[in-house]
Amino acid sequence: MPAPNFRQLFQQYLQGRLQPSQLKALRTHVQAAEETEELDQLLLEAYTNPALQAGGEAAAEWVRLQNSIAAGSATVMPMPKPAARRLWVIGIAAALCALSVALWLVIPTRTATNNGRSAASAGAIVPGKPGAILTLSDGRRLVLDSMGNGQIATDNGSTLVLNNNQLIYNAATAGTASAIHTLTTPAGKQFRLALPDGTQVWLNAASSIEFPSAFNGRERTIRVTGEAYLEVVPAKNQPFYIVTQQAKVAVLGTGLNVSAYNDDAVSSITLATGSIQVSDLHASAATLVQLVPGQQALLKTDAAMVVQQVNLNEVTAWKNNRFFYRSVPAKDFLKAIARWYNITVEYEGKVPDQELWINYSRDQPLETTLEVLRNSNIRFELVQRRLIVKE
């Protein structure tokens, strides 16, 4: 249960009765809330309790209030009139006058302007959905989201089946030569895959995985570009390897996240369960690091591998169809939304240096994300599928 003081401050916040000192106390509670569980509970109550819905403070007002607190001029927080319906959204700017704050917010739906420009075009840009292209060994390309459930192909004795947006491989019999297949998700698409050994794969947008149609050799090796989460089936006499442009990962039966986009300066390997060994393919000297659950290896072409402790909920949120970032650089978040909404991001002048706290469903239309950017003091213009970020 949320601490009584936290609950009281939160309810007073909804009612617009907080003094500046109390707002600072609320911010302290918000920043200390572990995994946002306390915030989840309080907002669920606020959303379902009419008595608490009398005020639904918008994220923009919260951001403006930070400046008032910093200046010592705020007395009582103004509250808007309740809206007919609301969206769950989080997306509070950080690094505003060195006052980082994050909060689950109930944001009124409205006809918004895009920093002076109508956001009507944003409503037409929908979030990503299941979809992928499978390239077979003979060059055939199958657009999976245009096909129905059932068997879709055979290749070198392996049977390929679609079942509710998941591609399942029924491997060929032992001794049959395997074929190399590639599953690719364009921007704005994601897909699930069951490899021939039963290993489960979640493939994020703008990613690809190359794998054999059957694992008949002494080892199981796949190649990943972009981002994928894997739950690897252990096989004592047949080790599993993941190869990226930067790393080779020996998997000992585990759950892990691989992020290796070609346009990212840094790639990462994050261990959720089990055990893995990571080697840097670009290191001048042989390096091999064994990770424990909760650790992440960061790899960069011109730097040594770095291992750090991370929040697994944050790293794997995309697999559960959420945007969840704690103090993420704005540029990294903009890359993520470009891949998910199939848009391009361009910069006019300096790249924004804000750090954002984000937590909301990826099922939301682009307009929800644009609202997050507005409330983070990021100036932009949306022209069709071009998001032009201004200095």
Distance separating alpha carbons of residues 253 and 294, to the nearest angstrom: 15
The helix (run of H) or strand (run of E) holding residue 64 is helix 59-71
pLDDT band at residue 6 using 50, 70 and 90 as cut-offs: confident
Cα separation, 144 vs 220, whole angstroms: 25
pLDDT at 333 over 90: yes
Domain with CATH 3.55.50.30 in the chain: 121-126+321-390
**β-strands 166-170, 158-162 pairing:** antiparallel
Confidence tier at 50 by pLDDT (50, 70, 90): very low
Q: For residues 25 and 27, what is the distance between their CA atoms, to the nearest angstrom?
A: 5
Closest C-alpha among 121, 125, 127, 124 to residue 189: 127
Closest CA to 241 of 254, 286, 306, 261: 254
CATH 2.60.120.1440 domain extents, the chain: 219-320
Kindly report the backbone phi and psi dihedral angles of residue 336, in degrees, each rounded to the nearest multiple of 5, phi listed first.
Answer: -65, -45
Q: Which pLDDT score is estimated for 114?
A: 44
User: CA–CA separation, 141 vs 120, rounded Å?
Assistant: 35
Reduced to 3 states (helix: H, G, I; strand: E, B; else coil), residue 205 is: coil
3-state secondary structure of 103: coil
Can you tell me the mean pLDDT for 69-74? 38
Cα separation of 227 and 218, whole Å?
A: 26
Is residue 47 within 8 Å of 15, Cβ to Cβ? no
Mean pLDDT of the chain: 79
Concatenated DSSP letters of 161-185: EE-SSEEEEEPPPTTPPP-EEEEEE
Least Cα distance to 190 among 74, 47, 342 occurs for 342
Q: SS3 for 85?
A: coil
β-strands 289-291, 180-185: how paired?
A: unpaired
- 73 within 8 A of 44, measured Cβ to Cβ: no
pLDDT attached to residue 73: 36
Residue with more model confidence, 213 or 118: 213
CATH number of this structure's domain 219-320: 2.60.120.1440
Alpha-carbon separation of residue 172 from 78, 96, 119, 179, 303 (angstroms): 67, 58, 52, 10, 42
Query: What's the first-to-final CA gap in the chain, in angstroms?
Result: 43
Q: How far apart are CA 25 and CA 10, in angstroms?
A: 10
The CATH fold assigned to 121-126+321-390 is Phage tail protein beta-alpha-beta fold (3.55.50)
If residue 62 lies in a helix (H) or strand (E), which one and from where to where? helix 59-71
Phi and psi angles of residue 337, each rounded to the nearest 5 degrees, phi first: -75, -30
Rounded-to-integer distance, Cα 222 and Cα 211, Å: 5
Per-residue pLDDT, 48: 43
pLDDT surpassing 60 at residue 260: yes
Calculate mean pLDDT across residues 316-337. Answer: 95
Cα(370)–Cα(378) distance, integer angstroms: 9
Q: Residue 277: is its pLDDT beyond 70?
A: yes
